[in-house]
Amino acid sequence: MQQIIFFLIRNKNFLLFIALFSISIFLTIQTHSYHKNNFVNSSNSITGGIYTIKSSITNYFNLREENEILIDEITRIRIQVLYNVCITSTMDCFHKVPSYNTAF
């Protein structure tokens, strides 16, 4: 606790400057429409950039799940081809010739 008090005493001028500077920026943005619009536009671009980075990271980690799904599907298809199992119901498994229904 004593170190916090010493820190505040040592840096009182700097902390006062930061407080007054923050108040002046806030009042400038609130009272002038040009500065307010610039602040809103810059905050929107920063927020959009952060959202883009977050989205790309999220999409990258979702690719792992997609890759696992694709690996499972490829494995299933290879097993079906290896054991000569029909993939569709209209395929003749033994001769690999499509069966046609001739009755109308």
pLDDT of the chain, 104 residues: tens digit per residue: 889 999 999 999 999 999 999 999 999 888 888 888 888 888 888 999 999 999 988 888 878 888 889 999 999 888 888 876 555 554 555 555 555 555 54
Query: Could you tell me if residue 64 is inside a domain?
Result: yes
Q: Is residue 69 part of a domain?
A: yes
Instruction: Identify whether 47 is part of a domain.
Output: yes
The reply to whether 55 falls in a domain is yes
CA atoms within 13 A on the CB side of 101: 4
pLDDT, position 5? 92
Q: Is the full-model pTM beyond 0.85?
A: no
pLDDT at 16: 96
Question: What pLDDT was estimated at residue 34?
Answer: 86
Q: Is residue 27 part of a domain?
A: no
Q: What is the dihedral of CA 44, 50, 52, 57, to 10 degrees?
A: -170
Domain interval for residue 40? 32-82
Q: Is residue 65 part of a domain?
A: yes
**Residue 98 forms part of a structural domain:** no
Domain count, the chain: 1
The answer to whether residue 16 sits within a structural domain is no
Q: How far is CA 13 from CA 5, 10, 16, 20, in A?
A: 14, 8, 5, 11
Distance in angstroms between the alpha carbons of the first and the last residue of the chain = 94
